[in-house]
Protein backbone atom coordinates (compact mmCIF):
# COMPACT_ATOMS: atom_id res chain seq x y z
CA UNK A 1 0.00 0.00 0.00
CA UNK A 2 2.97 2.31 0.40
CA UNK A 3 3.18 2.36 -3.41
CA UNK A 4 -0.20 4.14 -3.47
CA UNK A 5 1.48 7.14 -1.86
CA UNK A 6 3.73 7.58 -4.91
CA UNK A 7 1.53 6.31 -7.76
CA UNK A 8 -1.32 8.32 -9.23
CA UNK A 9 -4.59 7.42 -7.51
CA UNK A 10 -6.74 5.95 -10.25
CA UNK A 11 -8.75 2.77 -10.62
CA UNK A 12 -5.93 1.40 -12.79
CA UNK A 13 -3.47 1.69 -9.90
CA UNK A 14 -5.69 1.12 -6.84
CA UNK A 15 -7.40 -2.08 -8.01
CA UNK A 16 -4.14 -4.03 -8.60
CA UNK A 17 -2.75 -2.77 -5.28
CA UNK A 18 -5.87 -3.93 -3.46
CA UNK A 19 -5.64 -7.29 -5.22
CA UNK A 20 -2.02 -7.59 -4.09
CA UNK A 21 -3.03 -6.70 -0.52
CA UNK A 22 -5.78 -9.32 -0.63
CA UNK A 23 -3.32 -11.94 -1.87
CA UNK A 24 -0.91 -11.03 0.92
CA UNK A 25 -3.64 -11.30 3.54
CA UNK A 26 -4.78 -14.61 2.10
CA UNK A 27 -1.27 -15.99 2.53
CA UNK A 28 -0.54 -14.38 5.91
CA UNK A 29 -3.74 -14.83 7.94
CA UNK A 30 -4.04 -18.65 7.83
CA UNK A 31 -0.34 -19.10 8.66
CA UNK A 32 -0.58 -16.52 11.44
CA UNK A 33 -3.67 -18.20 12.92
CA UNK A 34 -1.90 -21.57 12.84
CA UNK A 35 1.10 -20.21 14.74
CA UNK A 36 -1.12 -18.49 17.30
CA UNK A 37 -3.31 -21.53 17.91
CA UNK A 38 -0.32 -23.88 18.22
CA UNK A 39 1.20 -21.65 20.90
CA UNK A 40 -1.40 -22.50 23.53
CA UNK A 41 -2.52 -25.51 25.49
CA UNK A 42 -5.60 -27.39 24.30
CA UNK A 43 -7.52 -26.27 27.39
CA UNK A 44 -7.27 -22.58 26.45
CA UNK A 45 -7.61 -22.90 22.65
CA UNK A 46 -11.21 -21.68 22.64
CA UNK A 47 -10.31 -18.57 24.65
CA UNK A 48 -7.39 -17.79 22.37
CA UNK A 49 -9.52 -18.36 19.26
CA UNK A 50 -12.07 -15.90 20.59
CA UNK A 51 -9.34 -13.34 21.31
CA UNK A 52 -7.91 -13.72 17.81
CA UNK A 53 -11.34 -13.17 16.25
CA UNK A 54 -12.00 -10.20 18.53
CA UNK A 55 -8.65 -8.63 17.62
CA UNK A 56 -9.39 -9.14 13.92
CA UNK A 57 -12.81 -7.51 14.29
CA UNK A 58 -11.40 -4.55 16.22
CA UNK A 59 -8.63 -4.13 13.65
CA UNK A 60 -11.09 -4.20 10.77
CA UNK A 61 -13.39 -1.71 12.45
CA UNK A 62 -10.60 0.67 13.40
CA UNK A 63 -9.03 0.37 9.95
CA UNK A 64 -12.25 1.32 8.20
CA UNK A 65 -12.83 4.20 10.63
CA UNK A 66 -9.26 5.45 10.20
CA UNK A 67 -9.49 5.40 6.40
CA UNK A 68 -12.86 7.18 6.47
CA UNK A 69 -11.36 9.82 8.76
CA UNK A 70 -8.34 10.24 6.47
CA UNK A 71 -10.59 10.60 3.43
CA UNK A 72 -12.71 13.13 5.29
CA UNK A 73 -9.65 15.13 6.37
CA UNK A 74 -8.43 15.09 2.77
CA UNK A 75 -11.79 16.59 1.77
CA UNK A 76 -11.32 19.58 4.09
CA UNK A 77 -8.85 21.21 1.71
CA UNK A 78 -11.13 20.64 -1.30
CA UNK A 79 -14.69 21.23 -0.13
CA UNK A 80 -17.54 20.23 -2.38
CA UNK A 81 -15.60 17.72 -4.49
CA UNK A 82 -16.58 14.54 -2.65
CA UNK A 83 -14.21 11.68 -1.94
CA UNK A 84 -13.36 10.68 -5.51
CA UNK A 85 -10.56 13.18 -6.07
CA UNK A 86 -6.95 11.95 -6.07
CA UNK A 87 -5.93 14.89 -3.88
CA UNK A 88 -8.23 13.56 -1.13
CA UNK A 89 -7.24 9.91 -1.48
CA UNK A 90 -3.48 10.51 -1.20
CA UNK A 91 -3.60 11.57 2.50
CA UNK A 92 -5.67 8.47 3.24
CA UNK A 93 -3.02 6.24 1.65
CA UNK A 94 -0.28 8.08 3.56
CA UNK A 95 -2.13 7.46 6.83
CA UNK A 96 -2.59 3.80 5.87
CA UNK A 97 1.13 3.44 5.08
CA UNK A 98 2.18 5.07 8.38
CA UNK A 99 -0.20 2.96 10.46
CA UNK A 100 0.92 -0.21 8.64
CA UNK A 101 4.58 0.63 9.27
CA UNK A 102 3.84 1.26 12.96
CA UNK A 103 2.00 -2.07 13.24
CA UNK A 104 4.90 -3.87 11.57
CA UNK A 105 7.39 -2.23 13.95
CA UNK A 106 5.29 -3.27 16.96
CA UNK A 107 5.06 -6.83 15.64
CA UNK A 108 8.80 -7.02 15.08
CA UNK A 109 9.54 -5.56 18.52
CA UNK A 110 7.27 -8.13 20.17
CA UNK A 111 9.20 -10.95 18.47
CA UNK A 112 12.41 -9.79 20.18
CA UNK A 113 11.46 -11.83 23.27
CA UNK A 114 13.31 -15.20 23.25
CA UNK A 115 11.07 -18.20 22.64
CA UNK A 116 12.08 -20.05 25.81
CA UNK A 117 11.31 -17.06 28.02
CA UNK A 118 7.58 -17.11 27.23
CA UNK A 119 7.37 -20.82 28.08
CA UNK A 120 9.22 -20.29 31.38
CA UNK A 121 6.89 -17.45 32.34
CA UNK A 122 3.87 -19.68 31.69
CA UNK A 123 5.33 -22.53 33.78
CA UNK A 124 7.75 -21.23 36.44
CA UNK A 125 8.66 -24.78 37.54
CA UNK A 126 10.43 -25.28 34.20
CA UNK A 127 8.58 -28.54 33.58
Query: What distance, in Å, lies between the first and last C-alpha atoms of the chain?
Result: 45
Provide DSSP, 68-104.
HHHHHHHHHTSTTS-S-SHHHHHHHHHHHHHHHHHHH
pLDDT at 115: 57
Q: What is the pLDDT along the chain (127 residues), one digit of tens a residue?
A: 566 667 777 778 778 888 888 898 899 889 988 888 888 888 888 999 999 999 989 988 988 888 787 777 766 666 655 555 666 677 777 777 888 889 889 888 887 766 555 555 555 555 5
Provide DSSP, 21-55.
HHHHHHHHHHHHHHHHHHTS-GGGHHHHHHHHHHH
pLDDT at 54: 94
Amino acid sequence: MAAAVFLPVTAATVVPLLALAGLGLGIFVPANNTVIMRSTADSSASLLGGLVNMARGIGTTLGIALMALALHLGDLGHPGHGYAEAAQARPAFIVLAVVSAAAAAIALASRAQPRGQAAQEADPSGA
